[in-house]
Chains A and B, each alone.
Chain A
Amino acid sequence: MIRLENISKRYVMGDVQVAALDGVSLEVDKGEFVVVLGPSGSGKTTLLNIIGALDVPTEGHVQINGGNMTLTNKVNRFKFRRETVSFIFQTFNLFPSLTALENVQFVLDMQPADKTKKEKRNGQANRARAIEVLTDVGLGERVNHFPHELSGGEQQRVAIARALATGNPVLLADEPTGELDFRTGIQILELLKRQAEAGKTVLVVTHNREISRIADRVIELSSGKIVSDGAPRGGKAEIADLQW
């Protein structure tokens, strides 16, 4: 599903070259729930951005669903983001002028008419689908609220609904609970876990080691390198067991 070969990403800051990622290689299978763990500056967000084709590596190859994203051009990267990956951000990045429903419907409306992986939808169908997804994330009663009328947890759930509505097979979440309290964070994690169980590949970037306990697999980064890759230390836990 996702295959990274010897990925490096270097930035030049003044006279100094900083390596955000340094020779990272990994593979992630379909349906895996992967947590990328690491302290601030370890390169985890850079990794997520490269997987999501928001950024390109300085060296190495990225293959997703068999396609080499390193060699592809900007137009194809846009297409890839539209059809393969969906983002969930720490700060939600909802469109403030759109209601919850419209934020979700937005990504459905932008799907090209000839998309083959799902039937062509008209506006009414997109709206119905958006309501369905919002209901799935527990916001069936809040569809017509604007972001500023929603709590942080509700906003993040709208963001997840937006990501899910695309139907894209890969979910990339950057510190999805970073802005939320514990209880709301747990709800969000449950939602993400359910997506992996439903067959989506989910990558969650976090610095919160507790979250990594529920992952199928934990990749730990430090100074741009993978320092560990495997099952959670101490075994996989249930969401109910988490505490922070």
Chain B
Amino acid sequence: MNMSFWLRWSWRDLRARWLQVLAISLIIALGTGVFAGLGGQESWRVDSLDTSTERLNMHDFKMELADGSFIDQTDLIAALDGIEGVAALEPRLIVPTLLDASTEDDTVLAQGQLVGVDVSENGPQVDSLYVDQGRIFTSDDAGQNVAMLELQFADINNVEVGTTLRISGDVELETVGIGQSPEYFAVVPPDNSFVFGEANYAVMFVPLSTAQRITDREGLINNVAFILADGADSAAVQAAVEAHMTASFPDTGLDFVTRDDDIGLTMLYSDAKNDQVTWDIVALMFLVGAALGAFNLAGRIVESQRRQIGIGMALGVSRFWIAFRPMLVGVQIAVLGTLLGLLAGIGLSSLFASLFRDILPMPYWETSLYMPGFIQATVLGILLPFAATVLPIWRAVRVSPVDAITTGNLVAKGGGLSWLANHLPLPGKSFMQMPVKNILRSPWRSLLTVLGISMAIILMTAFIGFLDSFVATLDRAEDAYLYENGDRMIVTLDRFYPETNGEIAAIRDLAAEDGSPLFAQLEIGLMLGGRLIDGDEDIDTLIELHDMDQAIWRPKLLAGELPTASDEPGIILSEKAADDLGVAVGDLVTLEHPRREGLLSFRLVQTELPVIGIHNNPVRALSYMDLSATNLVGLNDVTNLLVAKPAEGAQPDTIKLALMNQPGVASVQEIAEISESFEVIMDLFVTILQVVRIIVLFMAFLIAFNTTSINVDERVREISTMFAFGLPVRTVTRMQIFENLIIGVLGTALGLVLGWFALNAMLVARVEDQLAEFKFIVEISPETLIVSMVLGVLVVAITPLLSIRKMTRLNIPDMLRVME
């Protein structure tokens, strides 16, 4: 056989069905593109972190002096001079401060820190500053009241270059730049309440001499960042530094923090890895969906050549050449799919990369196309169309040569499930019954069509359901926090204070400038860390104790009842904690908690407590008890947690400012901010999933459209017969719409059921490994159901409308003479 002959024939095949080939190729391209785009996020983030830390000369370790300790910087440099293995060191002065960056339009109050750095020679040389807006420091800035504000805080709080920053001591600093330092890619406040530090904790870089002057610590530093020389051993260098420090400053306590100990940096690296698990699931589901959709459609194209394959057999064509032509359909799809996949991969990678850049803090990004993922997906994209051709070819070569060359009435054709139609009481006229009978006559083809539609719906349901579940979880968290007195504020104290202590009284008595009280109610509470234990299971918990009889806010319960002061002590668990521990209301659970034994000493003890309620907050760690249980922990009449309900007319910013100036106050947050902070956690997922949703919609439409388009092609002879008998186009279209409607309903129903299972499988896989701290609400929103049904039923049903032009241009005589 002549190869060019087959290629010519294949080219004609392509011209005849280029739209379908293109659509299948696009489906494969989207699958491979998303797979490559999402598959690379860990590598992007890790590479970008590596690049960013390297280009900004991030320290290998830093030395922190004990709280309240300061050393003369000249003495320090002299003491550390000549230590082998140190390539560079950078003395800094880091001090806590309060920030007021309010403008006429916006109030911005936050706790934070001043980081005094050497600005000579475009310094600092270690933990250099990346300038996002404004300008870099110069040596002329030394001693000037200028600052560079950390980018994420500035972005979230809309602070711009030029804004005047007011800090503790009533000092004003001009914001000359907004930028980043590798040390603060993830902002971790000193109390390690690192979640959302970017929004609430302001890091301000200032010239070292400026920091020293305004904090009245001329010439002093309290922190040194080190970069190791190539090949130097970190532990050995630290030991040498410690030895030099001990020799020069024997009374100064110090601590070393390596990169591995850096909570923020570690979190960024581990998040990249953990998030990849989710994206892998999403990408794999997407690829499998695309694969099955493409497999189905490619198979149906080849199926339509089945008879010609059989004729080839009858003519004695070798099996190789018999398989060659349908295989060429696979080649067309594979080649086009790979080319489009490359474009889609680059495009989607670029899109996802830009989303990551917006959300994640690194200044330098390495987001080239993730080749391992792309190659894996492309191999599948190439193999898939070939695999799809195998079954039709196998079916075709089973036709005996006699049957293959027979035409007309002698063609052996089964009636499928037609017999079933005779037992069904179908209403309406015969031509409106025909769609049902068509479906039953070709159960295999109908099944493939239903599967094609359902694949689109599975994708839709699973992915958008994934997004819905995130949103539902956020909504649940919001409801848990805000359902009652949503304007309350949470004040944490820096230690336990007796309730009657002056600090507490001072807070309670805070008043506005006009003398009116700031709080309508101030509630005393306790907050303790602990561990819940049940058999082999144990989970960390944060227990809040409130006076449930008169609390400003009480947990909303899914089961059980709120305790009262007169009740025996019991604990209210989160739904997730109860599930993980396998306990329900009425069961006993062991709480390991600190118990005060002396004035300042605590001991861990275990107490068995009944579970008296299950609350609705999706955060697993949160547990609640009545304040009357304080004797369990030996903390009667002391507090470290205040819940404040603002007085009518009192502005939250005014209250915050007033509270932050109070001794003993560690943090102040509006409860709404905590609720919003959950959205920050999920922001990355929600943003990416929004993009994936659009791609899924497009792919689902492609699958649905192509499936029905192939259907119309397969019916062309019957349609022509109807036209020959004068059945109007509108009636034929109505029949097709009705048939598609049935197929669409079946496909959608199957898709929704399987999509639900797929969604659960995705979430279970994700939750079990990566989001164990949250109770995920698996939900498919009404909107998703409507969109799925619109796509699966309406779009599929109306697709024949797109074929009206094609039908009206049918060459009826030609179609009627086509042999079976």
Please give the distance in Å from B427's CB to the nearest CB on chain A: 9
Determine if A91 and B408 form an interchain contact, defined as CB atoms under 8 angstroms apart. yes
Determine if B407 and A97 form an interchain contact, defined as CB atoms under 8 angstroms apart. no
Given A91-B408, A97-B440, residue A82 in contact with residue B725 (CB < 8 A): yes
Determine if A54 and B724 form an interchain contact, defined as CB atoms under 8 angstroms apart. yes
Determine if B408 and A152 form an interchain contact, defined as CB atoms under 8 angstroms apart. yes
Determine if A54 and B726 form an interchain contact, defined as CB atoms under 8 angstroms apart. no
Determine if B820 and A91 form an interchain contact, defined as CB atoms under 8 angstroms apart. yes
Beta-carbon nearest neighbor of B729 in chain A: A78
Contacts of B661 in A (CB 8 A): none
| Cα–Cα, bound, A95→B436 (Å) | 13
Interface mask (A141-152 → B, CB under 8 Å = 1, otherwise 0) = 000101111111
By the criterion of a CB under 8 Å from any partner CB, how many residues of chain A are at the interface? 47
Partner of B718, one of A90, A95, A148: A95
Contacts of B413 in A (CB 8 A): 96, 148
Determine if B434 and A97 form an interchain contact, defined as CB atoms under 8 angstroms apart. yes
Please give the distance in Å from B21's CB to the nearest CB on chain A: 26
| Cα–Cα, bound, A202→B437 (Å) | 32
Given A45-B813, A106-B430, residue A83 in contact with residue B726 (CB < 8 A): yes
Determine if B723 and A78 form an interchain contact, defined as CB atoms under 8 angstroms apart. yes
Contacts of B820 in A (CB 8 A): 91
Contacts of B437 in A (CB 8 A): 97-98, 102
Q: Is B728 an interface residue (CB 8 A)?
A: yes
Q: Is A166 an interface residue (CB 8 A)?
A: yes
Determine if A110 and B731 form an interchain contact, defined as CB atoms under 8 angstroms apart. yes
Determine if A97 and B441 form an interchain contact, defined as CB atoms under 8 angstroms apart. yes
| Cα–Cα, bound, A96→B816 (Å) | 14
Q: Is B315 an interface residue (CB 8 A)?
A: no
Contacts of A179 in B (CB 8 A): 407-409
Within 8 A of A (CB), among B678-720: 717-718, 720
Q: Is A183 an interface residue (CB 8 A)?
A: no
For A46, A82, A97, the residue with the greatest tally of chain B CB atoms inside 10 Å of its CB is: A97
Partner of A98, one of B430, B725, B812, B819: B430
Given A45-B813, A54-B813, A152-B408, residue A110 in contact with residue B725 (CB < 8 A): yes
By the criterion of a CB under 8 Å from any partner CB, how many residues of chain B are at the interface? 41
Determine if A148 and B414 form an interchain contact, defined as CB atoms under 8 angstroms apart. yes
Interface of B is mostly: helix
Within 8 A of A (CB), among B578-619: none
For A74, A102, A105, the residue with the greatest tally of chain B CB atoms inside 10 Å of its CB is: A102
Given A79-B726, A179-B409, residue A109 in contact with residue B816 (CB < 8 A): no
Determine if A102 and B726 form an interchain contact, defined as CB atoms under 8 angstroms apart. no
| Cα–Cα, bound, A90→B818 (Å) | 10
Within 8 A of B (CB), among A104-132: 105-107, 109-110, 123, 126
| Cα–Cα, bound, A98→B812 (Å) | 21
Please give the distance in Å from A154's CB to the nearest CB on chain B: 9
Determine if A107 and B725 form an interchain contact, defined as CB atoms under 8 angstroms apart. yes
Contacts of B415 in A (CB 8 A): 96, 146, 148-149
Q: Is B721 an interface residue (CB 8 A)?
A: yes
| Cα–Cα, bound, A144→B440 (Å) | 16
Please give the distance in Å from A56's CB to the nearest CB on chain B: 11
Determine if B728 and A78 form an interchain contact, defined as CB atoms under 8 angstroms apart. yes
Interface mask (B785-820 → A, CB under 8 Å = 1, otherwise 0) = 000000000000000000000001000110011111
Within 8 A of B (CB), among A143-202: 144, 146-152, 155-156, 162, 166, 179
| Cα–Cα, bound, A64→B345 (Å) | 62
Beta-carbon nearest neighbor of A87 in chain B: B724
Contacts of A98 in B (CB 8 A): 430, 434, 437
Q: Is B15 an interface residue (CB 8 A)?
A: no
Q: Is A42 an interface residue (CB 8 A)?
A: no
Determine if B434 and A91 form an interchain contact, defined as CB atoms under 8 angstroms apart. no
Beta-carbon nearest neighbor of B435 in chain A: A97
Please give the distance in Å from B434's CB to the nearest CB on chain A: 6
Q: Is B757 an interface residue (CB 8 A)?
A: no
Interface mask (B411-449 → A, CB under 8 Å = 1, otherwise 0) = 011110010011000000111011001101110000000
Determine if A144 and B422 form an interchain contact, defined as CB atoms under 8 angstroms apart. yes
| Cα–Cα, bound, A166→B726 (Å) | 11
Please give the distance in Å from A127's CB to the nearest CB on chain B: 9
Could you write out 21 A-B pairs with CB less than 8 Å apart?
Answer: A54-B724, A54-B812, A78-B727, A78-B729, A87-B724, A87-B725, A92-B409, A93-B718, A96-B415, A96-B718, A98-B434, A102-B437, A105-B430, A110-B431, A123-B429, A144-B422, A148-B412, A148-B413, A148-B414, A148-B415, A162-B725
Not counting A81-B724, A95-B718, A98-B437, a sample of 14 additional A-B residue pairs whose C-beta atoms are within 8 angstroms of each other reads A45-B813, A55-B812, A78-B723, A78-B729, A82-B726, A91-B816, A93-B724, A95-B434, A97-B437, A102-B437, A110-B731, A144-B422, A151-B409, A179-B407
4 closest Cβ contacts across the A-B interface? Answer: A82-B726, A81-B726, A152-B409, A109-B429
